[in-house]
Amino acid sequence: MGKVLKEAGGDVQEAIDCTYYTAGEGRRLHGFTTKAEMPNKYAMCERQPVGICGLITPFNFPMAIPSWKLIPALVCGNTVVIKSGEDVPLSALNLFKACEEAGIPKGVVNLVNGHGAEVGAPLVGHEDIRLISFTGSTDTGRIIAEQCARNNKIVSLEMGGKNAIIVMDDADIDNAVEGSLWGAFGTSGQRCTASSRLVVHKKVYKKFVEKFVERVKKLRVGNGLEAKTDVGPVINQAAMDKILSYIEIGQKEDRATLACGGKRLTKGEYKNGYFIEPTVFTDVKAGMRIEQEEIFGPVTAIIPFSTLDEAIDIVNGVKYGLSSAIYTQDVNQAFYATQELYTGIVYVNSATIGAEVHLPFGGTKGTGNGHREAGTQVLDIFSEWKSIYVDYSGKLQKAQIDEVEI
């Protein structure tokens, strides 16, 4: 997909980490026991498999995201059909082959490739599929949720984001700049957790912008296979056209300033790829389209603020709620922000990217439908609860009806 080498290695390592972690959870698929209401009666509950799971994954993490879905589904005792991102079929194939080499029986893991309309829609609509787990755009996720509701399927959605970093006036500016660079332009901004908004205190706004824009201009755009490359291409023509259209929108919106970037690179080594300059808009106001809508590319918007509550309102003032961050040296401000930011993930003194496999991953509002991937919480997606009652009294007991001596 054009990801730079170090990031590609991280993608694979995350799949390895997920597999090791989730395999351990196979020994801890705990239910619980409890006292029953009636005497001489035993009560407990346990997890049971869902059945056949349809897993629909995107292009941007072609090894990590399939592993987040595949491994927990298998550990919970399900069979799966994976529909990989159509632009990155070989990564999923490699994961599929790894399953074969590990000895997973034939027919347990199944791989299909193709575009959403041709493959994804039939998968969602197939009567034998009990569960759909989808990662992708909010618009597509809404369509999937509607179809699953009609057929009473279980559905887990992980969708878009419009994530923001708050930079307070007491922040370590150099550290905040480093984090913002990584958050905004890692994976060419093609992350649902990308730092596409930088909300900076007015007292340090000028200093931050100068340092940040200077560093952005030095980022090396190029072939992801070259070690010196910082930012690779975007995935395809449609993505490039969308990103460039948002850059044009940003230039036309009231008082936003294009501080750097903004163009497609076409000459020399760039002529055969979808390369876009890392792009920064400054003096952006809350409510502008480039501040509200997911661009999913190497574009970030810097927004000034005066108080922490104002910054929190800006961060929360979008339809998404995946990831947020704050840079500050004040522990009181940090904990207040973690409480008030309405996102599924909050970072302190770090970018909005970098989730770890043993914590729940997912978001609020338009980002998802309440489920969480990763961590032990993912087991609740791929298993269903079964309550078990064992009456060894030798007679009929009617719970809530028979009188019981306490």
Question: What is the set of active-site residues?
Answer: 158, 192
CB neighbourhood size of 240 (10 A): 18
Q: Which is it for strands 279-282 and 299-305: parallel, antiparallel or unpaired?
A: parallel
CB 239 within 8 A of CB 270: no
End-to-end alpha carbon distance in the chain? 66
Where do we find the tokens 């829609």?
Answer: 121
What the block records as the tokens of 301 is 């918007």
* Closest by Cα among 355, 14, 262 to 363: 355
CB 115 within 8 A of CB 99: no
Report how far residue 299's alpha carbon sits from residue 289's, in angstroms, rounded to the nearest whole number.
Answer: 13
Bridge partners (DSSP) of residue 245 are none
Q: At what angle do helices 64-75 and 5-25 cross, to 10 degrees?
A: 10
